[in-house]
Amino acid sequence: MREICIGKNEENQRIDKFLRKYMSKASLSFVYKMIRKKNIKVNQKRVSSDYILKEGDNIQLYLSEDTILGFIEKKNIKEVKREFGIVYEDQNILLVEKPQGLLVHEDINESENTLVNQVIKYLYDKSEYNPEVEKTFVPASVNRLDRNTSGIVIIGKNNQSLQNLNEMIRKKNYVKKYYLTIVKGTLKDKKALKGYLLKDQKSNKVEIIEKKHPDAKEIHTIYRPINTYGDYSLVEVELLTGRTHQIRAHLSSIGHPLIGDGKYGNLEMNRSFQNQFKLRYQFLHAYKIHFDKCLGNLKYLEGKSFYSSLPKELEKIKIALFP
């Protein structure tokens, strides 16, 4: 029998979800079966699979140690070099600057050098995270950026903060996200764009449509022109929904593609910027996060804004286009 004491980084989650993280190699059906057959108890009592764990609870696993060990996947710290900058950090959250070209999460082609793995290594080196001490918790991001988009990514450093951040992201007007971009054409007035985004999984491209579709997701984008010169506009974009390629596809759909965007942009324009500035990716930077409303232990962030400067290569283009 093994006993697990629930601490602050494990509380306020369903027992079945906790156990799926604790014994990640075990199937969900196995977890349900063990709970139902009373091989898993809380405080020596039978509980349902949706029981919400509290700090101080003790989970009893009436399983052999070999069985438990066979279900636990060892967590290793990836030896990756830090490439991100730090916008803000306290005991609960970390706001980092993701450089262009770095994935936020692992994918089928890259399982080592990601932003999240770099953050985990950074916190491990600071003795603020230790996988051998934590039962299930791992620091994680609550927003994501495309590989070739730079800017601010929000990290939860403990379970309570991560849960509150995720809930704040889900709610409208709690966390506001702003981007800077340069688009083709002249934009004069602030405008709200609405529509539906349909994703093609095979091509990893999206299409913007006007009417509802069973496979499409509703999107809402607001743009505010900052400066215009010649055939280009410097624009601040606010994301009210955060869908794949939303800004790139939405602005392209109204005839104002981002410079450098190989998927949704203008080929001739992109070639010109590549030759002149060596720009090989979209000009898009997540430059501002505003915490309008906050929950729980993050109330102290309410009303605060955090900024990230344009990377040097993008700043150089901005100065050249808008003298």
Q: Which pLDDT value is given to residue 201?
A: 83
User: Of 17, 40, 71, at which residue does a domain stop?
Assistant: 71
Res 76 pLDDT > 90: no
| Residue 113 covered by a domain | yes
| Residue 80 covered by a domain | no
The three-class DSSP label of residue 241 is coil
| Residue 78 covered by a domain | no
Res 185 pLDDT > 90: yes
Q: Are residue 165 and residue 185 in the same domain, yes or no?
A: no
Q: Which pLDDT value is given to residue 270?
A: 96
CATH number of the domain encompassing residue 67: 3.10.290.10
The arithmetic mean of pLDDT across residues 76-95, rounded, is: 96
| Residue 310 covered by a domain | yes
Supply φ then ψ for residue 164, to 5 degrees.
-65, -40
Give me 220's structure tokens.
Answer: 């809402």
The arithmetic mean of pLDDT across residues 244-254, rounded, is: 95
Q: What is the largest CA-CA distance in the chain?
A: 73
Q: Are residue 221 and residue 315 in the same domain, yes or no?
A: yes
Instruction: Please state whether 261 falls in left (phi above 0), alpha (psi between -120 and 50) or beta.
Output: beta
Q: Are residue 212 and residue 307 in the same domain, yes or no?
A: yes
Measured in residues, the chain has a length of: 323
pLDDT in tens, 202-242: 888 999 999 889 989 999 999 999 999 999 999 999 999 98
Q: Are residue 135 and residue 201 in the same domain, yes or no?
A: no
Q: Which pLDDT value is given to residue 200?
A: 87
Q: Are residue 194 and residue 306 in the same domain, yes or no?
A: yes
| Residue 312 covered by a domain | yes
Q: Are residue 198 and residue 291 in the same domain, yes or no?
A: yes
Rounded CA gap, 27 and 183, in Å? 48
pLDDT in tens, 272-315: 999 999 999 999 999 999 999 999 999 999 999 999 999 999 99
pLDDT in tens, 141-158: 999 999 999 999 999 999
Q: Are residue 200 and residue 269 in the same domain, yes or no?
A: yes
Q: Are residue 281 and residue 226 in the same domain, yes or no?
A: yes
CATH number of the domain encompassing residue 125: 3.30.2350.10
**Contact (CB, 8 A) for 151 and 97:** yes
- Sign, CA dihedral 62-67-71-72, equals positive
| Residue 79 covered by a domain | no
Q: Are residue 180 and residue 160 in the same domain, yes or no?
A: no
The arithmetic mean of pLDDT across residues 164-191, rounded, is: 96
The arithmetic mean of pLDDT across residues 309-323, rounded, is: 96
Q: Is 215 a catalytic residue?
A: no
Question: Which structural domain, as residue segments, surrounds residue 19?
Answer: 2-71
User: Of 170, 188, 217, at which residue does a domain stop?
Assistant: 170
Rounded CA gap, 36 and 34, in Å? 5
Q: What percent of the chain has pLDDT above 70?
A: 100
Tell me the CA end-to-end span of the chain in Å, nearest whole number: 71
| Residue 77 covered by a domain | no
Q: Are residue 154 and residue 180 in the same domain, yes or no?
A: no
Res 172 pLDDT > 90: no
- Domains identified in the chain, total number: 3
Catalytic residue among 57, 125, 146, 292: 146
Q: Are residue 184 and residue 268 in the same domain, yes or no?
A: yes
Q: Are residue 195 and residue 276 in the same domain, yes or no?
A: yes
Query: Where is average pLDDT lowest: 38-47, 51-60, 105-114, 251-260?
Result: 105-114
The arithmetic mean of pLDDT across residues 191-201, rounded, is: 92
pLDDT in tens, 9-62: 999 999 999 999 999 999 999 999 999 999 999 999 999 999 999 999 999 999
User: Of 10, 39, 71, at which residue does a domain stop?
Assistant: 71
| Residue 219 covered by a domain | yes
Q: Which pLDDT value is given to residue 160?
A: 96
Q: How far is CA 183 from CA 205, 229, 237, 249, 273, in A?
A: 19, 11, 11, 12, 12
The residue ranges of DSSP E strands in the chain, in sequence order, are 2-5, 40-42, 58-61, 85-89, 93-98, 140-141, 150-156, 175-184, 191-200, 205-209, 217-229, 232-239, 284-291, 304-307
